[in-house]
Amino acid sequence: MTIQSSVQIGHIIRNAVVFNVKNWPGDAMKADSLLESVERLFALLEAREIVYVLVGGIALSHYVEGRNTEDLDLIMALSSLEKLPEIKIASRDMYFVRGEYGELQIDILLTKNPLFKKVQDNYTVTRHFLDRDIPFATVAGLLLLKLYALPSLYRQGNFARVGIYENDIATLIHKYEPDIPLLTKELSSHVSANDLTEIENILFEIQQRIERFRATAQPSG
């Protein structure tokens, strides 16, 4: 399994911008400049020896097809972010920073959050391409991040993002069959009892949906 090259990552983001009707008439110059911004950003991270992990839709696209995203998601320590003044901070709270690097939007998950730190330390894999290595979240790491976020999205009433996250989770579970009890055990140290119960219910419903799909997809005897 090989990770997308930085140029391919740029194309994923570019396509998300171009094919989003809200951006029509499209700004071709902005879309094209994303390719260059992605390449320059990864070169900068390497040059500054920044410890980071690629997560979000781009990392997901390594494992499943058809996932576009308009931004780049990274796990990073605040001390590392401070070494990157080229990233213009747009907003910030305890665990999240949204910034801009040229035309590229970057969402940064800060390692001050214990689960984000856990994913960075224990749920990453590195692939070499072109002249650099890219660390990105494993399937289990992506599932932990998405499951962790779901209860909050439900409370916010963000139906669109809930649907995207649940579909991502279902797709990864269907394709890779991860150890679900191990994931919920890991999450139990990072979420409330009520949130854990909600996550377990969501996982049960997703697994039931997958079982129905597999039963329907089986060729009849």
Of 73, 103, 137, the residue that ends a domain is 137
pTM: 0.85
Of 89, 111, 137, the residue that ends a domain is 137
Within this chain, do residues 116 and 185 fall inside the same structural domain, yes or no? Answer: no
**pLDDT tens column, 133-185:** 889 999 999 999 999 999 999 999 989 999 999 999 999 999 999 999 999 99
pLDDT band at 207 (very low <50, low <70, confident <90, very high): very high
Confidence check: pLDDT of 203 > 90? yes
Within this chain, do residues 126 and 63 fall inside the same structural domain, yes or no? Answer: yes
Q: Supply the range of the domain harboring residue 204.
A: 140-217
pLDDT band at 71 (very low <50, low <70, confident <90, very high): confident
pLDDT of residue 36: 77
Tell me how far CA of residue 94 lies from CA of 24, 77, 80, 189, in angstroms: 34, 12, 15, 19
- The DSSP code for 48 is T
In a domain, 1, yes or no: no
Within this chain, do residues 146 and 158 fall inside the same structural domain, yes or no? Answer: yes
Strand locations in the chain (E):
52-55, 71-76, 88-92, 96-101, 104-110, 124-129, 132-137
The total domain count for the chain is 2
Within this chain, do residues 151 and 125 fall inside the same structural domain, yes or no? Answer: no
Within this chain, do residues 181 and 77 fall inside the same structural domain, yes or no? Answer: no
Q: Are 22 and 130 in contact (CB under 8 A)?
A: no
Of 76, 110, 137, the residue that ends a domain is 137
pLDDT of residue 8: 65
pLDDT of residue 60: 87
Share of the chain above pLDDT 70, in %: 78
Find the length of the chain.
221
pLDDT band at 19 (very low <50, low <70, confident <90, very high): very low
Task: Collect all residues with Cβ–Cβ distance below 8 Å to 168 and sequence separation of at least 6.
Answer: 60, 64, 67, 142, 146
Residue 132 CB coordination number (10 Å): 12
